[in-house]
Amino acid sequence: MSSTEHYDFIIIGGGTAGLVVASRLSEDPSQHVLVLEAGADGTEDPRVKTPAFFEALKNTEADWGFKTNSQPTLNGRTIAMNQGKVLGGSSALNALVFVPPTKGLVNSWESLGNKGWNWETLSSYFNKAYTSPIVDESSRTMLGIDKWASVNSSAKGPIQASFPGGVAHPIRQAWAETFTNMGYYMQDDPFSNPSVGSFSCLASIHPETKERSYSTSAYYNPVKGRENLHVLTNAEVVKILFEQTGGSAKATGVQYKHNGETVTVNTAKEVILAAGALQSPKILELSGVGNPDLLDKYGIDVVVNLPAVGENLHDHAVCSISFEAVDEVDTLDALARQEPEALSQALQEYAASKTGPLSYVGVTSYAYLPIVDYLTPEGQVRLKDLLDKNRPPEIEGIRNARDRAYYEVVENSLLDPNEPSGAYLSVASQSVLPADPETDSPQGPVPGKFITIGAMLSQPLSRGTVHIQSSDPSHAPSIDPEYLTNPVDMDVLANHMLHIDAIANTPPMSKLLKQPLNRRDPASRLTDLESAKRYLRASMISMWHMAGTCVMLPKEKGGVLGEDLKVYGVRNLRIVDSSALPMISTANTQATVYAFAERAADLIKQAWGMKVSNCPQSPDIPRQRHLV
């Protein structure tokens, strides 16, 4: 074992959040920052750069390739839990969708007990993280956008965002007009005024190069020449080191493996954990911070008794229905079937003009919808009844306190027509979901052109766990998200699935689909709640938005961190990644993780008397309901 230099800050994990914090802290040349990343640098890898190749990175050396335990609510299936093992982390292999949470969701972080974590503070950090594209007059109709460019010119951050697949894809306009017809069209830029309604979504794709814009290319590569910033790849952290001083533990450094050697490095200021929602808790537990019973089982000395570590795992369950599209619509189905001619043509088109099917992943439009508005009167009674029956009991205990706090937030938002309970998306391709082997559902891509409409459960109540299952750092953690175990979740998502047909049947969306509607999978013909639940059990998958496993919450509600992101009971240790999110985003998580990490960097700078740069402010836009 060799011991090396001192750094002011040691960041564990050069992923989405880790590289944001590294680049911001190293703006001060007097601060020496080390990032330890287990994966390699994939900057030149075409699978990272080319948007449509994101699937090709799964289960490669760039993916941790985790799987959940068998999920009883999902017919005993295990669910793929991909996570980037590459510089940039999951931002290097995600599906590039770049969407905000709603104001209400972020404000609920504060109401759960995290002072200062609200939309007012966080909105400027979204603007600090990404650059919003300018929408010219001629594009507005095609994008279904009325006000975009005029309101968010303050978003000028490192991540370069664009409208994926070009503005002219007919799904965009059809989607916007369909939701206008249904009474749910979001007129404003969703990053300025995110609430209920549909919108044309952004992707983290550079508008000119049409390459992935992610934490490596946007935050790290432009500043990699800084002498005070040292990023070490292929360096896997084994544990955080502590010393006991003044009756409490203080993080003093980190032990990691590099080139077969075990190395110790010390910090003068802080260790910052950013290993993602599945591995930040693992590193804490391997270091002796967690539930004493679990640590004892694996012979790990307890440094801090913190049983909430690795609890509170939640994720977006997502499911979809693929409908046969009319012949005139361009879709990505030939690529999904890996047809050599289509692939070769797409490669040529992308190389020549950075356009075509490789320049995006097929997702173009989103809608955040409230379930309560379109439930039948009987459905509303059933939802209220279910909520009553599943209300956590008023009994003592940290877990109950946590569940009651979340329940209150979710119940209020489920019953509020101005808060979404589901996020819908459109995809210009069939989606190949797991199918019940007992049925004649297709198991792989089928011939034809399809448009898929998916729904994810925005604010799940179900909570699972991720814990070590060995003291050996090379062993994967045991991951049990307990998807849809709360009956409210199953019911709400099943109702959202039932609503997909209404979208498909409303013009002009209905005009892009062959009539009568023809589904890729016969099992996705959902006739009632039971058939929707059956379909979810067989085909629901993860949207890879795992969060909350080292959650920022008051300790008495099961928190691991305070609102300053410091781990309870330890000095000099903070967590800045998706594991700290108090509640998962309304839909896809990356924009939220970037904004969260941006604010985390400022909190750390302030704590150490470093200069904090200005955050661009969004104009204050009054909240409106169902703008049409």
Ligand X SMILES: Cc1cc2nc3c(=O)[nH]c(=O)nc-3n(C[C@H](O)[C@H](O)[C@H](O)COP(=O)(O)OP(=O)(O)OC[C@H]3O[C@@H](n4cnc5c(N)ncnc54)[C@H](O)[C@@H]3O)c2cc1C
Q: Which residue has the tokens 């939701």?
A: 179
Beta bridge partners of 519: 323
- Which residue lies nearer to ligand X by CB, 96 or 498? 96
Spatial contact of 549 and 313, defined as CB atoms under 8 Å apart: yes
Nearer to ligand X, 73 or 280 (CB): 280
Strand partners, 466: 479
Residue count, binding to ligand X (CB under 6 A):
40
Q: Which stretch binds ligand X (CB under 6 A): 12-20, 368-376, 393-401, 435-443?
A: 12-20
Using the minimum distance from each CB to ligand X, give the nearer residue, 32 or 545: 545
Shorter beta-carbon distance to ligand X: residue 275 or 538: 275
Q: Which of 9, 10, 15, 310 binds ligand X (CB under 6 A)?
A: 15
> CB nearest ligand X: which residue?
15
Q: How far is the CB of 54 from ligand X (least distance, A)?
A: 7
CA atoms of 64 and 84, how far apart (whole Å): 6
Among 7, 9, 13, 101, binds ligand X (CB under 6 A): 13
Contact residue for ligand X among 22, 36, 105, 334 (CB under 6 A): 36
Site for ligand X in 213-242 (CB under 6 A): 236-237
Q: What is the enclosing helix (H) or strand (E) of 81?
A: strand 80-81
Pairing of β 317-324 and β 541-542: antiparallel
* Per-residue binding letters, 282-301, with ligand X (x by CB under 6 A): -x------------------
C-beta of 71 vs 82, nearer to ligand X: 82
State yes or no: residue 77 binds ligand X (CB under 6 A). Answer: no
DSSP, residue by residue, 172-236: HHHHHHHHHHHT-B--S-TTTS--SEEEEPEESB-TTT--B--IIIIIIGGGTT-TTEEEESSEE
Among 89-97, 160-168, 461-469, 474-482, which window interacts with ligand X (CB under 6 A)? Answer: 89-97
Q: Which two tokens stand for residue 296?
A: 């004892």
Among 454, 544, 565, 574, binds ligand X (CB under 6 A): 544
Q: Which of 21, 52, 79, 96 binds ligand X (CB under 6 A)?
A: 96
Q: Which of residues 567-606 bind ligand X (CB under 6 A)?
A: 577-578, 588-591, 593
* Maximum CA extent, the chain: 73
User: Which CB sits closer to ligand X, 196 or 363?
Assistant: 363
Is residue 320 involved in binding ligand X (CB under 6 A)? no
**8 Å CB contact between 194 and 586:** yes
Of the pair 383, 466, the CB lying nearest ligand X is at 466
| Binding residue (CB under 6 A) for ligand X from 23, 26, 31, 90 | 90
Q: Are 487 and 145 in contact (CB under 8 A)?
A: no
Q: In sequence order, what are the residues at sequence separation of 6 or more whose Cβ sits closer than 8 angstroms to the Cβ of residue 351?
A: none
- Please give the Cα distance from 298 to 300 (Å, whole number): 6
CB of 38 to ligand X, least distance (A): 4
Q: How many helices (H) and strands (E) does the chain have?
A: 17, 24
Computed on alpha carbons and rounded to an integer, the radius of gyration of the chain in Å comes to 23
User: Which positions lie near ligand X, rule CB under 6 A?
Assistant: 12-18, 36-39, 82-85, 89-91, 93-97, 236-237, 274-277, 279, 283, 544-545, 577-578, 588-591, 593
